[in-house]
């Protein structure tokens, strides 16, 4: 049986990756992280998405084998960023040219935990919704970083891991298109309605592309991708 563990935050990208994994693997588990993110709403959204999986998509729910949320708030205390409430605005850029939302080492840490979980659960594949196309400049989202990590995890645990990144070279518009390819309009609607991307934790203001403040970099990227996706689908 081929089995995958998806690093799942409840955002558009990792939710698309979850369904991609359910389409491509016999058995899929999810892993999530409480790193002290300011926006607790994303933890609620991920729970709701997993709760609705069975009802909305029974064909995939039978491959779904459970979730684990890990408390890594001690990491968040060290690796402070605008996402963990270090006082900076999300729109700021640091002296190193990276957005204030960059959490140093976050994806490396997530995937190392996911690998340890995969090792114990008999899985070889880790799936991450990272990409370098609509690139925020996060160096831990680049494929060459993940190639190096894949090698380090494989050597360090003596277990052949593969890190799958289905969104690596896709724009946000192409990510919406991938959701449509996997699950049609029903999946696109599900992702619009249930996922949370907004850096400001706004899950009250509704737009065509879902909930969010509409102003932060994550909302602007999501809105732009949605607009491009809709335009390319218009007859
Ligand atoms: Zn926002």
The structure's pTM equals: 0.92
pLDDT reported for residue 85? 74
SS3 percent helix, strand, coil of the chain, rounded to 5, is: 50, 15, 35
Which tokens hold the place of 51?
């709760």
Which tokens hold the place of 229?
């996706």
pLDDT tens digits, residue range 150-170? 999 999 999 999 999 999 999
Q: Is the pLDDT of residue 137 over 80?
A: no
Distance 3 CA to ligand 1 centre (A): 34
Number of helical H runs and strand E runs in the chain:
8, 7
Distance 135 CA to ligand 1 centre (A): 17
Distance 13 CA to ligand 1 centre (A): 15
Distance 136 CA to ligand 1 centre (A): 15
The three-class DSSP label of residue 2 is coil
| Best CA proximity match to 141, nearest among 84, 172, 103 | 103
Question: Could you give the percent of the chain with pLDDT greater than 70?
Answer: 98
pLDDT tens digits, residue range 1-22? 799 999 999 999 999 999 999 9
Distance 208 CA to ligand 1 centre (A): 14
CA 37, 41, 45 angle in degrees (round to 5)?
A: 120
CA 43, 48, 51 angle in degrees (round to 5)?
A: 130
pLDDT reported for residue 134? 63
């Amino acid at each position: 049986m081929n089995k995958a563990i998806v690093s799942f935050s409840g955002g558009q990208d990792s939710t698309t990756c979850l369904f991609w994994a359910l389409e491509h693997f016999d058995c899929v588990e999810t892993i999530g992280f409480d790193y002290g993110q300011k926006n607790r709403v994303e933890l609620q959204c991920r729970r709701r998405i997993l709760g609705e999986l069975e009802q909305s998509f029974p064909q995939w729910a039978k491959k779904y084998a459970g979730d684990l949320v890990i408390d890594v708030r001690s990491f968040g205390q060290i690796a402070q960023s605008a996402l963990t409430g270090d006082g900076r605005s999300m729109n700021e850029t640091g002296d190193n040219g990276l957005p204030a939302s960059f959490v140093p080492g976050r994806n490396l840490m997530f995937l190392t935990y996911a690998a340890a979980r995969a090792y114990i659960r008999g899985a070889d594949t880790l799936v991450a919704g990272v990409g370098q196309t609509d690139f925020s400049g996060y160096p831990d989202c680049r494929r060459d970083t993940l190639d190096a990590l894949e090698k380090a995890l494989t050597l360090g645990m003596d277990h052949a891991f593969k890190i799958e990144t289905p969104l690596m070279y896709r724009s946000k518009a192409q990510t919406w298109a991938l959701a449509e390819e996997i699950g049609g309009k029903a999946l696109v609607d599900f992702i619009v309605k249930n996922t949370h991307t907004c850096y400001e934790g706004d899950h009250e203001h509704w737009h065509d592309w879902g909930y969010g403040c509409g102003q932060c970099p994550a909302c602007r990227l999501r809105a732009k991708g949605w607009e491009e996706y809709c335009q390319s689908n218009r007859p």
